[in-house]
Structure 1
Amino acid sequence: MIALDPESRTPLYEQLYAALADEIRSGERAPGTALPGRRTMAARQGVSVNTVDTAYQMLAAEGLAEARPRSGFYVQKTYGMLHSRPPARPVPAPNAPAGREPAVRYDLSTGSIDTALFPARSWGRIQRELLYQSPDLLQRGEMQGDEPLRVQIARYLSAYRGVECTPEQIVVGAGIEYLLGCLAHLFTGGVAAVENPGYTRTRAVLQNSGIPCTLVDIDASGLPAEALEQSGANLCYLTPSHHFPTGITMPAPRRAELLAWACAMPGRYILEDDYDSEFRFDIRPLPSLQGMAGPDGPVVYLTTFSKSLAPGIRIACMVLPHSLLARYRQDFAQYANTVSRFEQQTLCNFMAGGYFTRHLARMRLTYKRRMEAFAAALRHALPGVTLGSVHSGLHFLLTLPGAGGEHAMVEAAAREGVRLRGLSEYYLARRERCPPDTVVAGYSALKEGDIPAVASALARAWAPCRP
């Protein structure tokens, strides 16, 4: 087992990568030998599968390991030829060859979508028309994204999310991760407070971009302003409309407290990630923090079209306050926009023609029906189950007391062909605070016809662990 320090300012994936790299360079792991499977390593180290995967990908990028399809990661054979230092000691043979992970029949992860819901006919027609009628889109566009699209986004955000902005404040980019990297440049020297539990990728992106992160534990209302003040951070990354992964909606008084924190000192900013507020099935979401703060307030609003359209389209945007806009334009003046102009104009026409709002209305009805059917099937198949935050977003927390613990639940589900993640994987520190026997179940990629089979598979998986 490799010693990792969860309290260190060095991310866990970097610690794991460094330790494995040292073992490979020293010869403790011989060329051609398999690295432990990602789930096996995650369980052994007490970290998330994403942490292990990131470390392995870094090893592969440096040429220390290679990824073999449907097999796993192996120490690069050629590495030993290039480095003639003999092994420090004989390497024991592995107990068993790295086997394939169980086949996934039902995907309950939170990053997938049901591709059958994509509006392929209208999207494709618009794109074909543009391809033949708008050859000017082959030319380089505006650095912040083409203005017609920014106009449509501004109208949509104003009408549905209460965001106060002009098209000039909007920056279009290829995903939230890219936009966070741009923001990190504007906040050089800052420290970011990140929700714990929270979206693990955000912390990785910020730290990889030179912004140290400090973890702040959330409570029943989200991230506490008092704890944020004590953290010493000048930046705060939040998912207030639908906290990821717990589903908490931050109430208005807490939002006001956080805005007061941001306004108390110059240079403080809130990064508001509004990643799936389109999907609330009972009531409209509260207005955005950005709308409460106003166009000149200390809030950067971020959102994505990954949930509403498709992750592969890679269109996201941020709304910069005027205090950051001039600096952004100065520092990124030579940059080209990272989203294809054909994709930008397709989305623009899709929104301007009313297709987008109708598409969202259909999606809400479909996902609401799916959520209700899935929740009913789980309650029938798993007596005693508790489902948290079912009426918003595209995932919920599933708690089953006596199911043997989160890790056992995830592994048993995998053996039945069901992919899901444990809640503790999103705790970047202080995992003892994580509720027991709880997993995160996403249903956005789940076919309605598969719902009974998934519920039955989970009942079989977890039955041996229950009294």
Structure 2
Amino acid sequence: MLHLTTALDPASQVPLYEQLYRSLVAEIRAGQLPAGTRMPGKRSLAEALSVSVNTVDGAYQLLAAEGYLASRPRSGFYVQEYPSLPGEKNPGGTGEPPETAAKAGEIPADGQPVRYDLSTSGVDTGLFPFRTWARLQKELLYTSPDLLARGDPKGDVQLRQALTEYLAEYRGVRCTPDQIVVGAGMEYLLSLLAPLLTGPAAVENPGYPRARRVLENSGHSCRFLPVDEGGLSVTALAASDAAVCYVTPSHQFPTGVTMPAPRRAELLGWAAARPGQRYIIEDDYDSEFRFDTRPLPSLQGMAGADGPVIYLSTVARSLAPGIRIAYMVLPQHLLPAWEKRYALYSGTVSRFEQQTLARFIGEGYFTRHLARSRVAYKARRNALAQALAEAFGPAVRLSGLHTGLHLLAQFTGPVPPDTVLAEAARQAGIRLAALSSYYMADSSSCPSGTLVLGYGALEDGLCSSLAETLKKACTAAWEESSR
């Protein structure tokens, strides 16, 4: 029988027929199943994979419908010609960055199932308030047909009013609804903001790669500034020629450090030295999840409604990434420039979604949802930290646990590069990232052997097995590197 490298995961939420379909697509596109190859019979493949004939038939029918296979009467299924696409990877690796790799239960192009999703973008979709959200949206669908009409390009005023009140109470942001712009994701809003600002942009190193990409795509040259235990170095910023500073002060990504009040004051002083010429972009991406200490107020709140700070945040982590709602608070003096450039643009977020979120916030459901989510995520963080400590003992040092949905695990002693550890983890079915992958310039200061572990999407009962699996993978990597 034809040898297939198919690997199916019965515990996955992805149906077996779809797992088989994806795995075969990957092999056909990679050239491992060349054109003209006769596929195994349904019964023989079902027996070899310990699945039902219906599972194999479902996968074959999908492949035939999409042109990957052709059915020949009384002969079976045959692989069709598939031309290589420009830039398509050869067998042995997907070439995908950490942000776009497969999630738990999915089959990446290399056929390796992801058993544990430790991506920093993952959230627990089981915490999503399905009933409340559905009820609010259903009521709007039946009672507000006017929401089918075009809305304000900055977002519906009801949502901007709800966000104004929420941000004032919980983040100390000082603004009016007119200063808020709602858009489909932080990258989209940043791409609209960037042309309003001039000069080189400073970004944290290590930092958020997408922000750097958006700024460069918008014409800003980037300066990569070091991060220490207090966040971005203002000394390095002052020595640079940057006129814009993109920063994550409440929970630096990915190191997890919090910028203390004195340094925040220094940063604001840097911008205030040249009014109207220097700006700070404050990315407050996950400040809702602070577990052990009270959060510091936002930089925007310290600077004031017409200060040099542009505030950015999103509901991607507090609700779900699929709800593409982010928001930006502009200084008052930038509003005329915004209106001149974007007044004729259309809004990018469904008005029904906007109004649902407005009611969700205004009627108190959002704060209750966050309180429940904090309890769940804190318990998961504790369980993961305990499992790692039990598995590795003093060989691992954890940091960045106080805020957000990821932590750093630094392995002590003579260890191979973190990229080697990350690859070993991937081979074991663990999706995570090496800390060095977030350095956009000099990485000599990157702590050796450090992995970034997101636990938002990690199932509660998997912490112990994850830790043991990671230990085996790291041990094997250590032994291999020491030979």
Instruction: Settle same-fold status: TM greater than 0.5.
Output: yes
Give the TM-score category using the shorter length. Answer: 0.7 to 0.9
Shift of 1:466: 4.5
Which of 340, 346, 354 is 1:344 aligned to?
Answer: 354
1:139 corresponds to 2:149 = yes
1:341-396 CA distances to partner (integer Å, 9 max, x unpaired)?
00000000111111000000000000000000110001001122111111211000
Q: Give the 3-state SS of the residue equivalent to 1:386 in structure 2.
A: strand
**Structure 2 CA distance for aligned equivalents of residues 235 and 301 of structure 1:** 13
Shift of 1:185: 1.6
Which of 408, 427, 437 is 2:449 aligned to?
Answer: 437
Shift of 1:405: 2.3
- Say if 1:39 and 1:49, in contact at 8 Å, map to a contact too: no
Q: Give the 3-state SS of the residue equivalent to 2:444 in structure 1.
A: helix
Unaligned runs of 5+ in 2: 1-82
1:155 corresponds to 2:203 = no
- Say if 1:242 and 1:392, in contact at 8 Å, map to a contact too: yes
Which entry has the higher C-alpha Rg, 1 or 2? 2
Give 2:332's aligned residue. Answer: 322
Q: Give the 3-state SS of the residue equivalent to 1:195 in structure 2.
A: strand
Which of 310, 315, 332 is 2:320 aligned to?
Answer: 310
Q: Percent identity?
A: 54
Give 2:397's aligned residue. Answer: 386
Q: Give the 3-state SS of the residue equivalent to 1:433 in structure 2.
A: coil
1:280 corresponds to 2:287 = no
Give 2:3's aligned residue. Answer: none
1:115 corresponds to 2:163 = no
- Say if 2:432 and 2:453, in contact at 8 Å, map to a contact too: yes
**Structure 2 CA distance for aligned equivalents of residues 347 and 194 of structure 1:** 31
**Structure 2 CA distance for aligned equivalents of residues 251 and 235 of structure 1:** 20
Change (3 A) 1:134 1:268: same
1:49 corresponds to 2:97 = yes
**Structure 1 CA distance for aligned equivalents of residues 108 and 295 of structure 2:** 44
Instruction: Kindly report which structure 2 residues correspond to 1:72-151, keeping only aligned pairs within 5 A, or say none.
Output: 100-151=110-161
Change (3 A) 1:70 1:307: closer
1:355 corresponds to 2:365 = yes
**Structure 2 CA distance for aligned equivalents of residues 37 and 386 of structure 1:** 37
1:408 corresponds to 2:420 = yes
Paired residue type of 1:400: F
**Structure 2 CA distance for aligned equivalents of residues 224 and 196 of structure 1:** 10
Paired residue type of 2:475: A
Paired residue type of 2:234: A
- Say if 1:38 and 1:49, in contact at 8 Å, map to a contact too: no
Shift of 1:34: 7.7
Paired residue type of 2:404: G
- Say if 2:201 and 2:245, in contact at 8 Å, map to a contact too: yes
Change (3 A) 1:39 1:190: farther
**Structure 2 CA distance for aligned equivalents of residues 445 and 255 of structure 1:** 32
Q: Which moved more, 1:396-405 or 1:345-354?
A: 396-405
Shift of 1:311: 0.6
1:50-93 CA distances to partner (integer Å, 9 max, x unpaired)?
69x89xxxxxxxxxxxxxx9675xxxxxxxxxxxxxxxxxxxxx
Give 1:58's aligned residue. Answer: none
Task: Calculate the aligned-residue CA RMSD, in Å.
Answer: 2.1
**Structure 1 CA distance for aligned equivalents of residues 378 and 456 of structure 2:** 10
**Structure 1 CA distance for aligned equivalents of residues 87 and 263 of structure 2:** 49
- Say if 1:197 and 1:428, in contact at 8 Å, map to a contact too: yes
Paired residue type of 2:420: A
Shift of 1:49: 2.7
**Structure 1 CA distance for aligned equivalents of residues 98 and 222 of structure 2:** 18
Report the count of equivalent residues: 390
- Say if 2:419 and 2:436, in contact at 8 Å, map to a contact too: no
Change (3 A) 1:363 1:50: closer
Shift of 1:39: 8.6
1:242 corresponds to 2:290 = no
**Structure 1 CA distance for aligned equivalents of residues 86 and 154 of structure 2:** 47
Paired residue type of 2:256: G
Change (3 A) 1:164 1:115: same
**Structure 1 CA distance for aligned equivalents of residues 91 and 353 of structure 2:** 35
**Structure 2 CA distance for aligned equivalents of residues 413 and 183 of structure 1:** 38
**Structure 2 CA distance for aligned equivalents of residues 269 and 329 of structure 1:** 19
Shift of 1:113: 1.2
Change (3 A) 1:177 1:415: same
**Structure 2 CA distance for aligned equivalents of residues 166 and 234 of structure 1:** 26
Which of 278, 282, 292 is 1:268 aligned to?
Answer: 278
Q: Give the 3-state SS of the residue equivalent to 2:231 in structure 1.
A: coil
Shift of 1:326: 1.4
Change (3 A) 1:466 1:71: closer
**Structure 1 CA distance for aligned equivalents of residues 172 and 367 of structure 2:** 16
**Structure 2 CA distance for aligned equivalents of residues 356 and 39 of structure 1:** 44
Q: Give the 3-state SS of the residue equivalent to 1:463 in structure 2.
A: helix
Change (3 A) 1:354 1:375: same
Q: TM-score, normalised by structure 1?
A: 0.80
Which of 217, 235, 243 is 1:226 aligned to?
Answer: 235
Q: TM-score, normalised by structure 2?
A: 0.77
